[in-house]
Amino acid sequence: LSYEWWFYMIFFAIITRFRPKASVIAYSLGIIAALSYIVYPFFANRFVMYLVLWWAGADMARLYLEQRAIDFRTMLMPLGAIAICTGILVVNAILNHEAISNELGQKSIGLSPFLEVRHFAFTLVVICAAIVWKKLDWIGWNFTFAPFAHLANISFGVYILHWFMISDATYLSFIENAFIRYILYFLVCFATAFVIERMIYPPLNAWIISRLKFGGLVKAAYAKIFAYRK
| pLDDT tens column, 190-200 | 999 999 999 99
d(CA 3, CA 30): 14
* CB-CB neighbours of 56 under 10 Å: 23
Largest CA distance in the chain: 59
Across the range 154-176, mean pLDDT stands at 94
Looking at the predicted structure, is the pLDDT value of residue 214 above 70? no
Q: What's the pLDDT at 219?
A: 56
48-69 confidence digits (pLDDT tens): 999 999 999 999 999 998 899 9
Looking at the predicted structure, is the pLDDT value of residue 230 above 50? no
Instruction: Report the range of poorest mean pLDDT among 22-26, 136-140, 147-151, 192-196.
Output: 147-151
* Residue 229 banded pLDDT, cuts 50, 70, 90: very low
d(CA 85, CA 120): 7
Q: What's the pLDDT at 102?
A: 56
Looking at the predicted structure, is the pLDDT value of residue 74 above 90? yes
CA 27 to chain centre: 15
Q: What's the pLDDT at 210?
A: 74
d(CA 104, CA 3): 23
Average pLDDT score over the chain: 88
Looking at the predicted structure, is the pLDDT value of residue 78 above 90? yes
Looking at the predicted structure, is the pLDDT value of residue 25 above 90? yes
Looking at the predicted structure, is the pLDDT value of residue 107 above 70? no
110 closest CA partner among 85, 37, 2, 100: 100
10-19 confidence digits (pLDDT tens): 998 898 888 8
| Alpha-helical segments (H) within the chain | 2-17, 22-39, 43-65, 76-104, 114-135, 155-162, 178-194, 201-211, 215-226
Contact 92, 37 (CB under 8 A): yes
